[in-house]
Amino acid sequence: MAILEINDISSGYGEVQILWGATLALEPGKITSLVGANGAGKTTMLRTVMGLVKPKGGTVTFEGKNVSQLSAHAKAEMGLVLVPEGRQLFSEMTVEENLEMGAAPKRAKARFDANFKRVYEIFPRLQERRRQKARTLSGGEQQMLAVARGIMAEPKVLMIDELSLGLAPVLVLDLFHTLQKLKSEGLTLLLVEQNVQMALAVSDYGYVLAHGKVDLHGPSRKLINDTHIRSAYLGM
Amino acid sequence: MDILAFLTDGLLIGFVYGIAAMGLTLIWGVMNVINLSHGSIIALGMFALYFLFVSLGINPYIGVVIVAVLGLLLGMIIYAVAIHRVINAPHLSTLLATFAVNMIIIGLGTTAFSTSPRNVDFSLGSATVGPVTLLGTRVVAALASVLITAALYFFLYRTTLGKYVRAVTDNRAAAELMGIPSARVLALSFGLGTMLAAVAGGLIATFFPFTILSGGTYELKSFVICVLGGVGNPLGALFGGLILGTFEGIIPYFLPTSWVPVIEFILFVVILLVRPTGLLGAKK
Amino acid sequence: MSLTKLRNPGLWITVIAVLLLGLWPIVTQRASTREEIFTVLLSVVLASSLNILLGYTGYVSFGHIVFFGLGGYVGLYLIIVQGWSLWPAMAAGGLAAGLLALLLGQAILRLRGSYFALATIGINEAMRAFINNFEPFGGPTGLSLNFQTYNAYGGAANALWLIYYIVLILALFNIVLSYVVKTSKFGLGLMAIREDEDAAEVMGVITPRSKTWAYVLSAILPGVVGVLFFFKNGNIEPPQAFRLHMSIELLVMVMLGGFGTVFGPALGAVGYQRLRGLLLTSDLFKNIQLAVAGLLLLLIILFIPAGAVGWIRRRFPILRRYLP
Amino acid sequence: AAQEQTVVIGFTASQTGKYNVESTRQINGLNLWLNQVNDAGGITLSDGTVVTFSTVFYDDESNTDRVQELYTRLATEDNADFLISPYSSGLTDASAIIAEQYGKIMITTGAASDSTYTKGYSLVFQTYTPASRYLTGALDLLASLDESAQRIAIVHENDKFSTDVSTALNDYALELGYEVVLFEGYDSGATDFAPFINKIQEAAPDAVLGGGHFQDGSTFARQLFEKTVTPAFVALLVAPPEPSFSELGEAALGIVGPSQWEPLAQIDASAAEAAGVDFYGPSSADFHDAYMEAFGEEPSYHAAGGYVSGLLLQKAIEDAGSIDTQAIKEQLDAMNLLTFFGRIQFDTTPEAHGLQIGHSMMYVQWQGMADALDKQIVWPPEAVTADALYPIGGE
Amino acid sequence: MILQVSGVSKWFGGLKALTDVTFSLQEGQILGLIGPNGAGKTTLFNVINGVYKPNEGTVTFRDVDITGLKTYEIARMGLARSHQIVRPLNDLSVRDNVIVGACFGRENNALASAGTIADEVMEFVGLAKRADQLAGSLNIGQKKRLEMARALAARPYLLLLDEVLAGLNPSEIAMMIDIVMKIRERGTTIIMIEHVMQAVMSVSDQVLVLDFGKPIAFGTPAEVANDARVVEAYLGDPSLAAQLLAPSSDQPEQDD
Ligand SMILES: Nc1ncnc2c1ncn2[C@@H]1O[C@H](COP(=O)(O)OP(=O)(O)OP(=O)(O)O)[C@@H](O)[C@H]1O
Ligand SMILES: Nc1ncnc2c1ncn2[C@@H]1O[C@H](COP(=O)(O)OP(=O)(O)OP(=O)(O)O)[C@@H](O)[C@H]1O
Ligand SMILES: [Mg+2]
Ligand SMILES: [Mg+2]
């Protein structure tokens, strides 16, 4: 049984339609990656799932419940959390306050202290900067904070848009290891990545989005080794 | 005659200015909405207190508490009806919306109450210390504003709900993604700002006569105070109020009273230029 | 700037719309229509001027009326006390306003966002309070014009028509001006400032200079029409000359019509002033006109927050060309 | 057969904005007059036409923006035959230009400034005692009460009306040999007079005169009392004659105020006889009762001003026997009579045409006990209803 | 020598973001600027183009000391940059955004000629199709390209690129690299900050590595990649570094 099902979803901005009936499902406890060219509609998909963009058609089902009509905060409350593109930090609040805000869902409160400790372990740099305003962090530090804030929400499904964006290589490697660890603790992950190679390497299953539709999907291993796919979809 | 008297009178009124400004600075700093209905809401607070006192015979200080509750409700209603739709719209839409609300309140208020002055005939007596005469009502108002400032500060910077308020203002979409019900939080903030305005009105009504138009003066002063103290900073509002009050108290000692506004506003602009984020620095 | 730009149909649509409105009382020769349209055209000038600062540059001025008031005072002083005629007095009013903007611009345009808006309030109030104490301008009593002054312009009736023609010409001029500014390199720099001042600087826009000139440009015509208005009004007093409320109404007009567009502020001025005018004189609403006007305004804001022209531009992108 | 004609009276009222209260009372007064004339069957002109009256009015929102627009509309679209001024001198100045330009007679009320009438108008007529004589009587009163009073403080709202009044008062005081120890204005929006009062205390005057409008005046009085600063004599503009001034309780006690008209002053036909002029219209008492009945509140002098502005028009029409502007202007120019409002006579010199020269102020004072205050006329001597309380608070 | 940075330090309160950074750059070169997150790379750009005034040290651009000049003065001297956190002029069209760059940059073009330049540059970076769209409605990748286009339109002598490759997929990266090479061919000097190693290593003539605000290595890509301190601070352990650098072999110009 999939934990998150996105069924035949269509959406766009104003008159412009971006998604044309995309379907995808996440297996619980697995890492799924969603790849595709620039402008394919990956970000739009995530925003639509969260309800930041109103779907024009299709449904989103989370843990068997139809959540298409719920607001973003209600979904976050249920454990469906997005680390958005462009970070979207609370720029005038400190690092620590940003993390606190991440723990807004009730379910996150119980594990607040543990999560706090954990994200500082993953990103010691954030601990050093904890009283600094998010606005003044370096690009990479902001990215760390965005991911850390997502983890603070104690999600059941964590969707990350462009995890590796602007991070130093050493950190990217670390981070993918951390994701594996989170997965082993039962978290379900959806990664949207430009670093296709790496995304497919850590994920169990992959979807390829092109022109607002899912063109292709399958176990990551298969995708990554298929030369046709590599050249046609992954630009490799 | 002692300059002390000038100073004390200025400070006492300063507390009240501070609390009148606090609602404005809260809504402005926290929600980034410049609330042009601030003045008329202050006036509604005055009228609410007046009717509670005159018609129902309720003690003004119990009245102020009732006024606070009414103010909170009114604010949430105004938010839901007039502001929610445009809170994320570009540019100054919210400014226009509150301007329209102001027109409605003043229009209806004038029809209902006319602009004839009302007076809450209530006194706590006065005490004379040396050259200084202290009025009971003003002292109570000053104490109340200190309490309210402390409470507001605590709320915004120490409680989770208060932090949600700041988070929503900072980045509404992100707040939603983090599970913060942004619409409710915004309504609450606006409600709080309105509540403060109404309470300020209620307190002022205990010692000044007023009309439905009286709020305008306090609105203007509130703008000045927001700058002195830094927009969005409740402590700053109190501080700014005290400075303004002190100016108003002291300047007449040296100069003709009619120069008070000239000096006051020039100083205001100068301070703005030297310390754009307020004397205390804006806390956001 | 090239002449081909002046062929833009959008400019001419706006000019012709205002011209038609302006000609209406001239054709009908009805004095009361003239007065109604005078109020409207006056606002067109004020709102379009403000738009150069507010709409193009993104600086919100709450106290723009200070230029109107100062211009009016300088002009009336010269006419009444120094015996000047209307024409040089108008020029002097505009000049005074422009100079004030130039001086202030250096200082307060360093402030951003709300802080600038607040400074403009401070300046308006300081000016009002100062003139209240300034004896040459009559202090609180203000200045008032002798009825005989109008004789030099063919009597009061003729003077009122004359003033009307002038304001019509100024309104048309202002629209062309704001179009020329908008489509110039200078205007592009202003809009870059509006969108992101720091980024604009990084691209080489000399922001202090551009902002100051925008401020000056937006101040001159209000100064000129200030002289006209108070000359027509016959007297000037500080609270009327520096009425903060009117500043805010100007903001409303700009926003209502469409922030940053050429046609928008004119449309907003017409819409707002006629709405108020009609409510004031309507038998049904005149007793509660203020509240009704507020309600209508609120509905407009809630349903077309980008202003009429902004809304059309967004809704029908093809029309953008025609609505600069 | 008798023809019938409706004469239209046009004006703007401040239904919103800061002049709302005064303006509303003024309009109430005017409407009372209008209803009374119409109920009595109108006025019959010399050609037998019966004239009745109707009004057209708009809200001027207490500011000049649209005054000219609206008066032009009244004069040209609504075909108003006669105009009444808006409330306040500033708005009246703007409207006078329009009245004069369209050749409409305008009776002004609530517009006290002298300057309006020195600008060359020929059709504008003032009902109020002008600002230059508004408060001078208070000094006469003071002189009659206490010859030793020497030091006076003049404190006023910094607006046109109050400044005009205070400047004239200052001149008069110097002329009488008083020492003006403080002459200072305060901003129109002022609510806190504490620093101002401190200053007064420091100057230690025998008398304080000045003020502005109702709200600042009553606030000032209240704060004087609360700060226990009580000069022997306090006279304030506008506020004290208002019936609701008594809501201040003890703080109102002893405060003197100039009034254009007072119900207590029994002005009727017999008074006219004594003065050797004609009397016209209702007596003070009749007006008072009729107003009470119509509006359920005590008439203030603004209400009386509104009423009398219509009454003067009526008188001029009757005397002219026509509604021709020129004929009526002549009647107004020649007018010299007593009404319940007081003497009425207009200046006819070109320098100050239309300025009110017949009417003069009365001065009232709140007396009695704090919870049962009475307003008494204390000046001029011929109208006095009670001896002035002096000094305030007793020796 | 087009740029000379000598002894530059910048601190924010107690935090030393840059300490005594010194380097110089030959005309026509590409300098890669790398280092861990928060190393001070963007801050260095900000110091060079005048956003921040350094607490110590000087910046000399084409033999003129530009330390402490305003950003617009520096821009007009022929120094353009892109922003890591994109700053599009949202309510202007893509074309107008680029025109701003052309108008106010070094050449101080008139509107008409700026338009021509803009069209050319948009074509160059692949934004031509979006010319009339509002900049605010672009997605991140497109905004990055817009940043680049605006900077290019200024026809600068020196171009500072802050992570323009982030968020692009491999084929797009290849295309961008192509663009960068072409810019250099035109004679523009470039400093680029990047975390995409294959790319920096393949285009840079020199690489400067910052760590905690201090330069820890400076040299050719190969020298830097083999520097032990760089590997430790930035790339991770050597085997991973090798793995990272590996794909660059089958990288070049495999466009589609
Ligand atoms: N707010 C918006 N308004 C209008 N169009 C938009 C908006 N945001 C994105 N688009 C357009 O929608 C299309 C899809 O964008 P989206 O961000 O979903 O792509 P993506 O797959 O996430 O791309 P990338 O890999 O660059 O992040 C793009 O063409 C973009 O221009
Ligand atoms: N305005 C500021 N106030 C305080 N600290 C700041 C400010 N700007 C930057 N910093 C800090 O300075 C350090 C250097 O930041 P900088 O943005 O230069 O890093 P960077 O090398 O560009 O990193 P990244 O690769 O993550 O973008 C960071 O730790 C950042 O938090
Ligand atoms: Mg994306
Ligand atoms: Mg950086």
pLDDT for residue E255 is more than 50? no
pLDDT for residue B92 is more than 80? no
- Helix (H/G/I), strand (E/B), else coil: E165: coil
**Ligand 2: nearest atom to the Cα of A139:** 27
Task: Provide the mean pLDDT of chain E.
Answer: 87
Same domain for A34 and A66, yes or no, is yes
Query: Which runs of consecutive H residues, i.e. helices, occur in E186-247?
Result: 197-203, 221-225, 228-230, 238-245
Beta partners for B90? none
Task: Identify all chain A residues contacting B167, using CB atoms and an 8 Å cutoff.
Answer: 90, 93, 97, 101
D164: contact with C, CB 8 A cutoff:
yes
In order of their start, the domains of chain E are 1-78+157-249 (3.40.50.300), 86-155 (no CATH)
Question: What was the pLDDT predicted at E243?
Answer: 56
Is residue C272 within 8 A of residue C308, CB to CB? The reply is no
**Ligand 1: nearest atom to the Cα of A85:** 27
Task: Identify all chain D residues contacting C243, using CB atoms and an 8 Å cutoff.
Answer: 63
For range D341-368, the mean pLDDT:
92
Task: Provide the mean pLDDT of chain B.
Answer: 86
Minimum CA distance residue for ligand 1 atom 22? A43
**Ligand 1: nearest atom to the Cα of E130:** 31
Question: What was the pLDDT predicted at C292?
Answer: 86
AA identity, residue D47:
D
Q: Alpha-carbon distance B256 to E217, whole Å?
A: 70
pLDDT tens, residue by residue, C152-209? 998 888 999 999 999 999 999 999 999 999 999 999 999 999 999 999 999 999 999 9
Instruction: Bin A98: left if φ > 0, else alpha if -120 < ψ < 50, else beta.
Output: alpha
pLDDT for residue C1 is more than 50? no
Contacts for A131 with CB less than 8 Å, ≥ 6 apart? A94, A95, A96
A110: contact with E, CB 8 A cutoff:
no
The residue from A100, A132, A155 where one domain ends is A155
Is residue D14 within 8 A of residue D85, CB to CB? The reply is no
pLDDT tens, residue by residue, A160-213? 998 888 888 888 888 888 888 889 888 999 999 877 878 888 899 999 888 888
For B43, the token pair is: 């006036």
Q: What ranges make up the beta strands (E) of chain C?
A: 143-144, 235-236
For residue A85, tell me if it sits in a domain: no
Question: What was the pLDDT predicted at D370?
Answer: 65
Q: Is A43 in Cβ contact with E140 (below 8 Å)?
A: yes
The residue from A107, A122, A155 where one domain ends is A155
For residue B284, tell me if it sits in a domain: no
Task: Identify all chain B residues contacting A160, using CB atoms and an 8 Å cutoff.
Answer: none
pLDDT for residue E247 is more than 50? no
Instruction: Bin E69: left if φ > 0, else alpha if -120 < ψ < 50, else beta.
Output: beta
Q: Alpha-carbon distance E236 to E234, whole Å?
A: 6
For residue B261, tell me if it sits in a domain: no
pLDDT tens, residue by residue, D206-218? 999 999 988 889 8
Task: Identify all chain A residues contacting E35, using CB atoms and an 8 Å cutoff.
Answer: 168
Q: Alpha-carbon distance C255 to C267, whole Å?
A: 10
Residue C143 burial by CB count (10 A; 0-12/13-18/19+): exposed, middle or buried? buried
For residue A86, tell me if it sits in a domain: no
Q: What is the pTM of this model?
A: 0.89
Question: Which of B269-278, C21-30, D186-195, E161-170: highest mean pLDDT?
Answer: C21-30
Is residue D316 within 8 A of residue D43, CB to CB? The reply is no
pLDDT tens, residue by residue, E32-43? 999 988 899 999
CATH code (residue A34): 3.40.50.300
Q: Alpha-carbon distance B234 to B30, whole Å?
A: 11
Question: What was the pLDDT predicted at C304?
Answer: 81
For B178, the token pair is: 């983090």
pLDDT for residue E250 is more than 50? no
Residue whose pair of structure tokens reads 């619409």 in the numeric block: B183
Q: Is it true that the peptide bond before E156 is cis, omega within 30 degrees of 0? A: no
Indicate the pLDDT class of residue E248, thresholds 50, 70 and 90.
Answer: very low
D216: contact with C, CB 8 A cutoff:
no
User: Which is higher by pLDDT, C209 or D198?
Assistant: C209
**Best of A13, A45, A234 to mutate for ligand 1, by most ligand atoms within 8 A of CB?**
A13
Q: Is B220 in Cβ contact with C121 (below 8 Å)?
A: yes
Contacts for C15 with CB less than 8 Å, ≥ 6 apart? C172, C175, C176
Residue numbers of the domain that contains A216: 1-79+157-236
For range B248-252, the mean pLDDT:
86
Number of domains in chain A: 2
Q: Alpha-carbon distance E36 to E230, whole Å?
A: 9
For A105, the token pair is: 């869902």
Residue whose pair of structure tokens reads 């001597």 in the numeric block: D381
pLDDT for residue E251 is more than 50? no
- Comparing CA positions, the residue from D14, D108, D33 lying closest to residue D299 is D33
For residue B256, tell me if it sits in a domain: no
Indicate the pLDDT class of residue B282, thresholds 50, 70 and 90.
Answer: very low
For residue B283, tell me if it sits in a domain: no
Same domain for A13 and A72, yes or no, is yes
Residue whose pair of structure tokens reads 């002004």 in the numeric block: D108
Same domain for A150 and A167, yes or no, is no
Q: What ranges make up the beta strands (E) of E101-169?
A: 158-162
pLDDT tens, residue by residue, C273-300? 988 888 888 887 877 888 888 898 898 8
Same domain for A54 and A164, yes or no, is yes
C322 to chain E nearest CA, in Å? 15
For C166, the token pair is: 């002038």
Same domain for A143 and A234, yes or no, is no
Q: Tell me, what's the ipTM?
A: 0.87
pLDDT for residue E18 is more than 80? yes
Element at B137 (helix H, strand E): helix B136-158
Write out residues with Cβ below 6 Å of ligand 1: A 13, 16, 18, 36, 38-44, 85; E 137-142, 167
pLDDT tens, residue by residue, C206-221? 999 999 999 999 999 9
What is the percent of chain E where pLDDT is above 70?
A: 92
Indicate the pLDDT class of residue B91, thresholds 50, 70 and 90.
Answer: low
Q: Alpha-carbon distance C173 to D78, whole Å?
A: 34
Residue numbers of the domain that contains B67: 16-121+129-216
Q: Alpha-carbon distance A142 to A146, whole Å?
A: 6
Question: What was the pLDDT predicted at B283?
Answer: 39
- Comparing CA positions, the residue from B284, B277, B9 lying closest to residue B142 is B9
Q: Is B173 in Cβ contact with A90 (below 8 Å)?
A: no
Task: Identify all chain B residues contacting C271, using CB atoms and an 8 Å cutoff.
Answer: none
Q: How many residues does chain B have?
A: 284
Number of domains in chain B: 1
Tell me which of A167-171, A201-205, B123-127, B197-201 is least confident: B123-127
- With vertex at residue E131, the alpha carbon angle to CA E127 and CA E134, rounded to the nearest 5 degrees, is 110
E250 to chain A nearest CA, in Å? 9
In this structure, what are the phi and psi dihedrals at residue D30, rounded to the nearest 5 degrees?
Answer: -60, -45
Indicate the pLDDT class of residue B80, thresholds 50, 70 and 90.
Answer: very high
Distance separating the N- and C-terminal Cα atoms of chain D: 72
For D4, the token pair is: 């019938």
Same domain for A171 and A69, yes or no, is yes
Question: What was the pLDDT predicted at A220?
Answer: 87
Is residue E51 within 8 A of residue C198, CB to CB? The reply is yes
For D116, the token pair is: 């309006």
Q: Is the CB of E37 under 6 A from ligand 2?
A: yes
Chain D's closest residue to C80, CA to CA, is D119
In this structure, what are the phi and psi dihedrals at residue B71, rounded to the nearest 5 degrees?
Answer: -60, -45
Same domain for A100 and A210, yes or no, is no
What is the percent of chain C where pLDDT is above 90?
A: 52
Q: Is the CB of E29 under 6 A from ligand 2?
A: no
- With vertex at residue B141, the alpha carbon angle to CA B137 and CA B143, rounded to the nearest 5 degrees, is 120
Task: Provide the mean pLDDT of chain C.
Answer: 89
Indicate the pLDDT class of residue C130, thresholds 50, 70 and 90.
Answer: very high
For range B51-75, the mean pLDDT:
93
- Comparing CA positions, the residue from D217, D211, D339, D343 lying closest to residue D287 is D339
Is residue C166 within 8 A of residue C221, CB to CB? The reply is no
Tell me which of B40-49, B58-67, B187-196, E194-203 is least confident: E194-203
Same domain for A13 and A116, yes or no, is no
Minimum CA distance residue for ligand 1 atom 29? A39
Same domain for A71 and A177, yes or no, is yes
Same domain for A179 and A62, yes or no, is yes
- Residue ranges near ligand 4 (ion) with Cβ within 5 Å: A 138-139; E 42, 84
Question: What was the pLDDT predicted at C3?
Answer: 57
Q: Is it true that the peptide bond before D380 is cis, omega within 30 degrees of 0? A: yes
For range C62-79, the mean pLDDT:
95
- Comparing CA positions, the residue from B24, B162, B166, B46 lying closest to residue B95 is B24
Residue C198 burial by CB count (10 A; 0-12/13-18/19+): exposed, middle or buried? middle
Q: Is C111 in Cβ contact with B89 (below 8 Å)?
A: no
Sign of CA dihedral A101, A107, A109, A112: negative
Contacts for D158 with CB less than 8 Å, ≥ 6 apart? B258, C132, C133, C139, C140, D185, D186, D187, D188
Q: Alpha-carbon distance B23 to E82, whole Å?
A: 41
User: Which is higher by pLDDT, B133 or C295?
Assistant: C295
Instruction: Give chain A's radius of gyration (CA, Å).
Output: 17
Chain D's closest residue to C129, CA to CA, is D187
Same domain for A108 and A224, yes or no, is no
How many angstroms from the chain centroid is the CA of residue C79?
23
Q: How many residues does chain A have?
A: 236
For residue B26, tell me if it sits in a domain: yes
Tell me which of C270-274, D77-81, E53-57, E241-245 is least confident: E241-245
pLDDT for residue C322 is more than 50? yes
State in Å: Cα E221 to ligand 4 middle: 20
Question: What was the pLDDT predicted at E241?
Answer: 53
Is residue D267 within 8 A of residue D304, CB to CB? The reply is no
Is residue B18 within 8 A of residue B189, CB to CB? The reply is no
pLDDT for residue B171 is more than 80? yes
D–C touching, 3+ CB–CB pairs within 8 Å: yes
What is the percent of chain E where pLDDT is above 90?
A: 56
The residue from A101, A133, A155 where one domain ends is A155
A–E touching, 3+ CB–CB pairs within 8 Å: yes
Indicate the pLDDT class of residue B151, thresholds 50, 70 and 90.
Answer: confident
Q: Alpha-carbon distance E74 to E51, whole Å?
A: 10
Indicate the pLDDT class of residue C4, thresholds 50, 70 and 90.
Answer: low
For range D229-242, the mean pLDDT:
90
Tell me which of A54-58, A93-97, A230-234 is least confident: A230-234
pLDDT for residue D280 is more than 70? yes
D151: contact with C, CB 8 A cutoff:
no
